[in-house]
Every structure is written in structure tokens, then in C-alpha cells.
Structure 1
Amino acid sequence: MAKTPAPPADPGAPAATQATTLYDRMRADLLAGRLLPPGRKLQIEFLGHHYGAGQTPVREALNRLTADGLVEQRDQRGFAVAAVSPADLVEITNTRCWLEEIALRKSMASGSAQWEEDLVLAFHRLSKTPRSLRDDRFEANPEWEQRHRAFHRALIGGCGSRWLIGFCEQLADQLYRYRQLSVQKIFPDRPIQAEHETLMEAITAGDADRAVELLTEHYQKTARIVLDDPEAFEG
């Protein structure tokens, strides 16, 4: 965790708003790996100091994050950052592939002009955004991360099921967390833009089988990179 305390929540905001804001900030830090390494204990007093919040809203946020699978509640020992493991990564990746196959096929079968327009726009925006803020070494570009997520959300956005999309989003959150473990090794050698372009070509051609195959390989490749990193699960 960073040594410098985060800016405190707005004391004039309603209690519900403060709690939601705290949850959002903690969630973003957990997903990006900025809070603590996986498996480490989360001390409520320290979190309160770090975020400028009281113990009650911190506990509320931790309970919500436990429901999200980002925090673990341990009997008599408080809270901890959710652990990571190779087996868990494989299971989450496989489940995402299964669910997004259904969602992508349904999106393509829908024939929705709005879905196609949204997908093309999301792809165009992603294509124009650099993965790294520097060419000589990796420096994460927050805008790319946002547009990358928007593109993958757009891929399945025409399936017609908010529940299916919601489940896929939860899995995407978990896999983003794993991806951060080896992001330095994913960049710059992986031609991720080419993977997105090939996937879009299959979708444009109306080849659902090929599109599903490419999307599945896209996710499985990320998992293999993390699994092959000997430092990914240390901590």
C-alpha cells in the first residue's frame, strides 16, 4: 500500500454517497493491485487512515468487496485481499470463455444495427489509443484500459441479457486483477491490436464460429502468460 494517505472522502457528502465512493476507490485499488498483495491482511484502522474514512464505512466497503470476490473474510481474523492461484485463474478463464461464447453468438445472431455501431465505435477508439504511455518501457495507459474494457463489453453487448452481461463483467474484473500480475511481460511483445483486428474481421464476416475461436484464444493466451510467469503467484 502506498505510504501517502489517499485524499479523504468529502465530509459534506451524504453517508450513503461517502460509502459508495469509498467502495469504488478501494475496488479500483484492489483490481489494479495497488492496495496490498493477494492474501495480505486488510487492517481496518490502517485503511481508515489511508482513505480518510471511519471504521464503519470501511467495514461496509469491505463487506461489499467480499461479495465481489475481491476480499476474503476470515473467521476471527478480519479481512484479507483475495488470494490468487493458478487453479483459480484457469477456472475463471474457462468460465468467461464459456459465457462469452454464448453472449457473442447471441449478439451476432441478433442482427442489431445499434450493436454493430457500438462495437465498431469501441474498436475504433481502442485502435487509436496506445497501450503504453512510453515506447521504451511499459507505463500503463489508463485510457487504453478503459477503452479495452469498453471494447470487450461491446462484443457481448447485443446478447439481450443483462444477467449474462453482468456475470461476464464480474469475471472480467477478476481476470483484470490477474492480468496485472504479469502486465510487464505482456507488453510490448504481444500483438494485442492484431488479435482485436482479426476478431473484428471474423465478426464483420458473420463467422460466429471463427469469432468465438479467436475470442477464446485471446483470453486463454493471457492466462498462459500469467501461468508461465514464475513471479506471478509469489507474495
Structure 2
Amino acid sequence: MARCRGTTAPPDESSRGARWCPRCCTDRRNRWKADVRAAHHRLAGTPAFLPDEGKHYSEAWSEAHRIFHRTLLEGCGNPVLLETFDRMWTASELARRWSTDRNPGRDGAEEHRRLEEAALARDADTAAELLTHHLTLTADALRE
């Protein structure tokens, strides 16, 4: 049996001689989709605010939020992008957690649901547009 070379695309000219296994790659894509659904389900079911944690995002919600966004990116398979995400997320976590005072005008749950849908549909343009909007709203809250 041919050994999967760990890609999600068929071989091209640059990979001449490497082996590619479409079944393994399909399994990997299906696993990513299931992981995205599970991460979104966890995020949607985690209370963003808890009485004993004050008026800012809860620790549990913040972790579920990180996992959701990280899982969305894992579909790219680019370790440099994933490492960059990890560094940037850690560096910005305090600001992000303090970016809201239970803003009733923002529907973060709907933003995340739409991001999930666009990613699973592999609609890169819509996902990029939604993510830009999502991040802009967070940045705007920090400036207020």
C-alpha cells in the first residue's frame, strides 16, 4: 500500500516521485470538519460571562474561543501559520478578554457560527471577510 505523504492535494510537478493517498487525505479533511464542529459546539455551550469572574469574558469561554479559532486554522496544515497564531493569540489574550463589558450590541455567537459555516464550506473569501469583521469589532471595542 502506498504511504500517504501527508498532503491534502494530489501531487503536482514539484512533488514528482512522492506518494499520495487520497483516502488518507479525505479522512484528514473529515477529521478537521468534525474538529471544527466540536470546537464550535464547545464554544457555543460555554458561558461567556460568569458572576464570580466579573464583567469580562470567563476563563473557560476564553479557552474555548482560542480552541475554536485555532481549529479553524488547522485545516491549512501550515505549521508556520499555526505557530504564528499561537504567539499572536497569547500576546493579545489580555486585551481580547477585556475588550467587552457585555456589549449587548454585538452577537459574537452569530459571528462564530458564520465563521464555522464559511470555513466548512471552504468559502475562503467569505471566511476572510467574516474574520476581518470579527477582528475589527474587537479592535474597535478596545479603542472605546
TM-score (norm 1): 0.45
The one-letter code matched in structure 2 to 1:167 is T
1:196 aligns to 2:88 (yes or no)? no
Match of 1:222 among 125, 138, 143: 138
Mapping 1:37-48, distance limit 5 Å: none
Which residue of structure 2 aligns with residue 114 of structure 1? 31
**Which of the two has greater strand per residue?**
1
Cα deviation digits, residues 74-127 of structure 1 (max 9, x gap): xxxxxxxxxxxxxxxxxxxxxxxxxxxxxxxxx9xx861111111111001111
The one-letter code matched in structure 2 to 1:122 is A
Q: How far did 1:163 drift?
A: 1.9
Q: Any conservation in 2 of the 1:138–1:188 contact (CA below 8 Å)?
A: no
Q: Any conservation in 2 of the 1:129–1:143 contact (CA below 8 Å)?
A: yes
Match of 2:127 among 208, 211, 227: 211
Q: How far did 1:145 drift?
A: 1.0
Which residue of structure 1 aligns with residue 11 of structure 2? none
Gaps of 5+ in 1: 1-106, 230-235
Structure 2: how far apart are the matches of 1:120 and 1:127? 10
Q: Which has the larger radius of gyration?
A: 1
Structure 1: how far apart are the matches of 2:134 and 2:57? 20
TM-score (norm 2): 0.71
Mapping 1:89-128, distance limit 5 Å: 112-128=29-45
Q: How far did 1:180 drift?
A: 3.6
Structure 1: how far apart are the matches of 2:122 and 2:75? 14
Which residue of structure 1 aligns with residue 59 of structure 2? 142
Q: How far did 1:181 drift?
A: 4.1
The one-letter code matched in structure 2 to 1:205 is A
Which residue of structure 2 aligns with residue 32 of structure 1? none
Q: How far did 1:176 drift?
A: 1.6
The one-letter code matched in structure 2 to 1:204 is L
Work out the number of aligned pairs and report it.
Answer: 116
SS at 2:131's partner residue? helix
Q: What do you get for the CA RMSD once the two structures are aligned?
A: 2.1
Gaps of 5+ in 2: 1-7, 9-24
